[in-house]
């Protein structure tokens, strides 16, 4: 279909082509909000041709029992309704305040703007040397995620709650193994594994090992590239590592080598980790010189969607990154930012 449209556009004068492109484009809607009887809300970001009612009707038909307030709706949107990407996250605002579910989507017609990195999700023959890491991930996920959050300090003040003494011993071996993997050969192996290995458990371990090499730009590049994995746990682990590093060991990173990857994510690839990346970029020294490569050429639409969100943290994170890229703050409204981005 894209080839046929290109031929039609080239067959008419350039002014007509511009009008044709404008007329055929579906512009973003305002965020759609569904209010639930318990006082909580569901906000849907990224809609163009679809409406929130159409989403509800389609979920009822193709996934009875599922709903927009369920995290499973993201998988249904991707694999049954063929959305280019989708994510769902719940935000809790403390005692006495209602939760908010935020569903982000890239609609089916936007598939050309979503660029996943497809790697196998094999689980056979993991590396023996990394078994104290991968075995915890496979068999004791509660221990793994607590240790990861502790190690990356993403939840300051929260101490791991081990259920048994055996869990505590597992956590100690897990930490000791990671602490020992600091040689150049360890870095090279982890970089290679994260980029190419078929075993997803080893890629998870590789992302953790690379956190030992925070002073190298290519560590950050490898972890950001892992955010584009289509499925599986690797991108979630990589995102947690990146957020932890950017908060606790912030440093300026030269992102030019990964401009294409960053452009794709800011435009809607891997929506589950978009806000994580927004925070990471803000803390690693992006500047106006990076703006054309990261959000130019019609990119950054999902970044603007987040700016318009009713969920304060999404809006403030997006605004902080946009301000760093612009060099000054254009305010909370989307339109001034959209006008500026059109010039990039």
| The predicted structure's pLDDT at residue 12 | 29
User: pTM of the prediction?
Assistant: 0.88
| The predicted structure's pLDDT at residue 35 | 87
| The predicted structure's pLDDT at residue 20 | 32
Domains of the chain: 32-113 (3.10.20), 116-235 (no CATH), 250-344 (no CATH)
The continuous run of DSSP H or E covering 43 comes out as: strand 41-45
Phi, psi of 317 (to 5 degrees): -65, -45
Question: Under a CB-based contact definition with an 8 Å cutoff, are residues 164 and 137 in contact?
Answer: no
Closest CA to 8 of 23, 29, 30, 26: 23
Give the residue ranges of the chain where pLDDT is below 70.
1-28, 94-96
d(CA 130, CA 119): 20
d(CA 310, CA 210): 35
What is the token pair recorded at 109?
A: 């017609």
What is the token pair recorded at 324?
A: 């760093």
Phi, psi of 44 (to 5 degrees): -115, 125
d(CA 331, CA 165): 52
Question: Under a CB-based contact definition with an 8 Å cutoff, are residues 57 and 34 in contact?
Answer: no
Q: What angle do CA 51, 55, 59 make, to 5 degrees?
A: 170
| The predicted structure's pLDDT at residue 88 | 94
What is the token pair recorded at 144?
A: 């793994």
Contacts of residue 222, Cβ cutoff 8 Å, sequence gap at least 6: 191, 194, 195, 210
Helix residue ranges per DSSP H, 181-233: 184-196, 200-210, 217-226
| The predicted structure's pLDDT at residue 28 | 66
**Do strands 100-106 and 85-91 pair parallel, antiparallel, or not at all (unpaired)?**
antiparallel
Closest CA to 113 of 260, 224, 325: 260
d(CA 267, CA 296): 10
């Amino acid at each position: 279909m894209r080839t046929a449209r290109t031929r039609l556009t080239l067959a008419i004068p350039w002014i007509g082509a511009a009008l044709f492109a404008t007329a055929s484009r579906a512009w973003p809607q305002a965020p759609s909000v569904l209010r639930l009887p318990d006082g909580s809300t569901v906000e849907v970001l990224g809609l163009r041709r679809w409406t929130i009612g159409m989403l509800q009707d389609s979920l009822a038909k193709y996934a009875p029992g599922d709903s927009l307030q369920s995290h499973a709706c993201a998988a249904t949107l991707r694999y049954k309704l063929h959305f280019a990407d989708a994510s769902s996250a719940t935000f809790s605002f403390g005692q006495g305040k209602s939760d908010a579910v935020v569903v982000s989507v890239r609609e089916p017609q936007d598939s050309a703007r979503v660029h996943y990195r497809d790697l196998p999700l094999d689980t056979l023959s993991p590396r023996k040397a990394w078994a104290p890491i991968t075995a915890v991930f496979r068999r004791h996920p509660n221990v793994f995620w607590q240790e990861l959050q502790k190690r990356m300090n993403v939840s300051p003040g929260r101490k791991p709650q081990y259920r048994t003494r055996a869990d505590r011993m597992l956590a100690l071996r897990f930490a000791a193994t990671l602490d020992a993997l600091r040689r150049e050969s360890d870095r090279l192996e982890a970089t290679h594994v994260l980029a190419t290995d078929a075993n997803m458990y080893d890629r998870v371990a590789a992302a953790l090992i690379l956190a030992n090499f925070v002073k190298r730009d290519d560590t950050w590049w490898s972890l950001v590239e892992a955010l584009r994995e289509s499925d599986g746990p690797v991108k979630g682990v990589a995102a947690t590592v990146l957020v932890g590093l950017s908060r606790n060991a912030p440093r300026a990173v030269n992102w030019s080598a990964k401009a294409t990857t960053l452009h794709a994510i800011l435009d809607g690839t891997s929506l589950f980790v978009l806000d994580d990346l927004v925070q990471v970029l803000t803390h690693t020294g992006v500047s106006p010189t990076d703006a054309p490569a990261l959000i130019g050429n019609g990119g950054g639409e999902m970044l603007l969607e987040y700016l318009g969100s009713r969920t304060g943290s999404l809006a403030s994170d997006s605004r902080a990154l946009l301000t760093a890229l612009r060099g000054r703050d254009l305010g909370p409204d989307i339109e001034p930012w959209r006008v500026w981005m059109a010039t990039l």
